[in-house]
Amino acid sequence: MSEKPSVLFVCVHNAGRSQMAAAWLSHLAGDRVEVRSAGSAPADQVNPAAVEAMREVGIDITAETPKILTVDAVKASDVCITMGCGDTCPVFPGKRYLDWKLDDPAGQGVEAVRPIRDEIKKLVEGLIEEIAPAPEKSA
């Protein structure tokens, strides 16, 4: 498979869960995966508690901005992972859809966001193993 897999993370505001998931995937998979995130009703800015929670693990998402979910973004992605956006995500045949049940960090302090961040990391690690495993190291 020469083309690298692409993943789109979608939540309502594209301010917390999907931003953290995209950051984890970029951080953990590097350039093995193409990463996008979007929201069905994007917020004005990324959730400051999400920014802080990711900063604590050495990942800077301060430059990220919530983006509107587009049909093109879904079409361009191999895997579409929704996080509480319900039926607002367009569905196309031939795409793989996963729905991750995660608490919404909106309005929560960083203490409440940390467990969500850690849960997202576990889910992303599992996803990487499935779609873009690390190359075998030769002995």
Closest CA to 77 of 135, 17, 22: 22
Q: Which residues form the catalytic set?
A: 11, 85, 89
96-99 sheet: strands from edge to edge: 34-39, 6-11, 79-82, 96-99
Whether 35 and 20 have beta carbons less than 8 Å apart is answered as: no
Q: How far is CA 107 from the centre of its chain?
A: 19
The secondary structure element, H or E, covering residue 39 is strand 34-39
